[in-house]
Amino acid sequence: MVDYAALRAVAAVVRTGSFERAAASLNVTSSAVSQRVKHFEERLGAVLIERGTPCTATEKGLALCQHMDRVGMLEKDLMAQLPEISGFEGATQRVTLNVATNADSLGTWFVEAIASFTKVTDYLVNVAIDDEDHTVDWLRRGRVLAAVTALERPVQGCRVTSLGSLRYQATASPDYVARYFPGGLTEEAFQRAPALTFNQKDRLQTVWAREVFGYELSFPTHWLPSTQSFLEGSLAGMGWALNPVQLAKQHLERGELVELLPGKVLERRLFWQINRLASDQLHDLTRSILSVARQELGS
C-alpha cells in the first residue's frame, strides 16, 4: 500500500524547498518529515530528494510529486461531496497547482488570469518562468500540469488551445536612436548598436532582425532577465529591445520610446496546454486563462 503520509512529506519538501518549511506546511515537526522521507527512500531503494538549498526532486521524486498533484485534486473533489473526511491527515492541505509561462506573458496578462482564478477557488498556484519555446519541456517532464507555450502541437497527454498572439515592437529611447542610428536603421549601424536580451534562450531580437534584413546579423547585447528591466533599460537608453505592445504603448505615445522601424511588429503565437487528467478539475483555470488572453492577445 502507498504511504501517503510519506508522499505528502516528499511533495511538501519539493514544493517549499526545505524540510523545515515542509514541516510547517504539514503542521508536523522537521524530524517527522525527515524520517518519513528517509524511510520511504529506503523502502524504494532510491533517492527522491536532492538535499540542498533549495531541496529539489530527483526524476523518481518528481514522478511521485506529479502523482500527489493529481491525488490532491481528487481529494479536493471528494471533500466537496463528503466534508466529513476533512478531519483526516492531509485532507485539509490546500492543493498547489504548478503551471509554467513565459516572462512576457507574466508581465502583461497572465497575472490577471491567475488572480481571477484564485478568487473562485482555494487552490494555490506556483508559477514557473521559462521561454515560451521551452515551457513545453516542463510539461513533458511532469513538473507542471499546464503551460503557456509556443508549441501548437499537443504534448502527449495534453489538450491544447490557441490563446492568440503576444505582439512586440522594437523600441529604444530617442537619445539612443540619435546616438546609434543618426543615418537611419542601416545594417552597419545595427551591428554596432547594443540590444537587450533576456537570457541565452531568448531569440526574439534575432528573429526581428532577420525579418527586417532578410538574414541573421550579429549585434552586441546586454543581458537583463526580467520583462520590467527590459522596459526600464530601453527607457534609460541602455539598448534597443523587443518590448510587448501593452508595455510600450504609453511610453511611445509620450515620446519616451520610439520604434526602430515604425510599424514593424513581431507576433508570437501562444497556446495553453493542460494535462488531460487534470483538465476537468481545472476547468475554471482554463476558462480564466482563455478569457483574459483573448482580451489581451486576440484570437
103-116 pLDDT, tens digit per residue, is 999 999 999 999 99
275/266 Cα distance (integer angstroms): 29
Q: Is the pLDDT of residue 117 over 70?
A: yes
pLDDT class of 78 with cuts at 50, 70, 90: confident
Percent of the chain with pLDDT over 70: 96
Residues near 180 by beta carbon (within 8 Å), at least 6 away in sequence:
172, 189, 192, 193, 240
> What pLDDT sits at residue 248?
96
pLDDT class of 185 with cuts at 50, 70, 90: very high
Q: Is the pLDDT of residue 86 over 80?
A: no
CATH architecture of structural domain 166-263: 3-Layer(aba) Sandwich (3.40)
The model carries a pTM of 0.84
- Joined grid coordinates for residue 110: 497572465
137/135 Cα distance (integer angstroms): 5
> What pLDDT sits at residue 84?
66
- Do the Cβ atoms of 274 and 146 come closer than 8 Å? yes
120/114 Cα distance (integer angstroms): 10
> What pLDDT sits at residue 42?
93
220/209 Cα distance (integer angstroms): 13
> What pLDDT sits at residue 90?
52
Q: Is the pLDDT of residue 280 over 90?
A: no
Every domain of the chain and the residues it spans: 166-263
144 three-class SS: coil
Please give the mean pLDDT across all residues of the chain: 92
> What pLDDT sits at residue 1?
67
> What pLDDT sits at residue 299?
57
> What pLDDT sits at residue 89?
52
Q: Is the pLDDT of residue 31 over 60?
A: yes
Phi–psi pair at 237, nearest 5 degrees: 80, 20
Q: Is the pLDDT of residue 4 over 90?
A: no
